[in-house]
Amino acid sequence: MKKESFLFLAQLLLFTAAHAQGNVQQEGWYNEEWYGDEWYSDESCCLNEMNFSAKVLAGANFLQNTTTNGNRFKYQPGYIVAGSFGYSWNYGLSLEAEYAFRRNDIKKIQFFGEGSSKRGHTQVSSYMGNLLWDLPLSFWGCEFWGIRPFIGAGIGYDFQRTHSSNSQIIFDQKWKQFSWQAMAGLAYPIFCNAEATLEYKFHQGGSRFYHHSVGVGLIYKFGFFGL
CA-closest candidate to residue 132, choices 195, 87, 101: 87
Reported as a pLDDT band with limits 50, 70 and 90, residue 47 is: very low
Confidence of residue 104 (pLDDT cuts 50, 70, 90): very high
Architecture of domain 49-222: Beta Barrel (2.40)
Q: What does pTM read for this prediction?
A: 0.74
Provide the residue ranges of all domains of the chain, joining segments of one domain with +: 49-222
d(CA 142, CA 74): 43
Q: What is the pLDDT of residue 187?
A: 93
Q: What is the mean pLDDT of the chain?
A: 78
CA distance 74 to 125: 20
pLDDT of 180 over the 50 cut: yes
The percentage of the chain sitting over the pLDDT mark of 90, rounded to a whole number, equals: 45
Amino acid occupying residue 119: R
Q: Is pLDDT above 60 for 13?
A: no
